[in-house]
């Protein structure tokens, strides 16, 4: 039997699909009957998905040009053509 305390320790493996089937089934049985753990899992997953949404960090064109210009100065032959048009 899995307790609420045990469940927290299994969350990474559960979300990675790395739990042995018997533990996964026991965990899911616990979740069905435990509102608190259900809420904890939902919010743990939501924290992860909110983080993933932050991946889409815009790389500003100005900073891109600055990087290419830096490499042009420090790496012979790099980015010596105009950046526009690529």
Q: Is 4 in the site for another protein (CB under 8 A)?
A: yes
Reduce the secondary structure of the chain to three states and give it as a string: CCCHHHHHHCHHHHHHCCCCHHHHHHHHHHHHHCHHHHHHHHHHHHHHHHHHHCCCCCCCHHHHHHHHHHHHHHCCCCCCCCCCCC
**Contacts of another protein in 27-56 (CB under 8 A):** 34-40, 42-48, 50-56
Q: Is 75 in the site for another protein (CB under 8 A)?
A: yes
What residues make contact with another protein under the rule CB under 8 A?
Answer: 3-6, 8-9, 11-13, 16, 34-40, 42-48, 50-57, 59-60, 63-64, 66-68, 70-71, 74-79, 86
């Amino acid at each position: 039997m899995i307790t609420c305390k045990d469940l927290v320790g299994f969350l990474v493996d559960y979300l990675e699909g790395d739990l042995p089937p018997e533990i996964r089934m026991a965990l899911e049985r616990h979740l069905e009957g435990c509102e608190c753990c259900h809420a904890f899992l939902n919010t743990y997953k939501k924290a992860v998905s909110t983080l993933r949404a932050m991946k889409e960090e815009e790389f500003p064109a100005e900073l891109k040009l600055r990087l290419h210009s830096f490499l042009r100065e420090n790496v012979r032959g790099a980015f010596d053509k105009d950046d526009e048009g690529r």
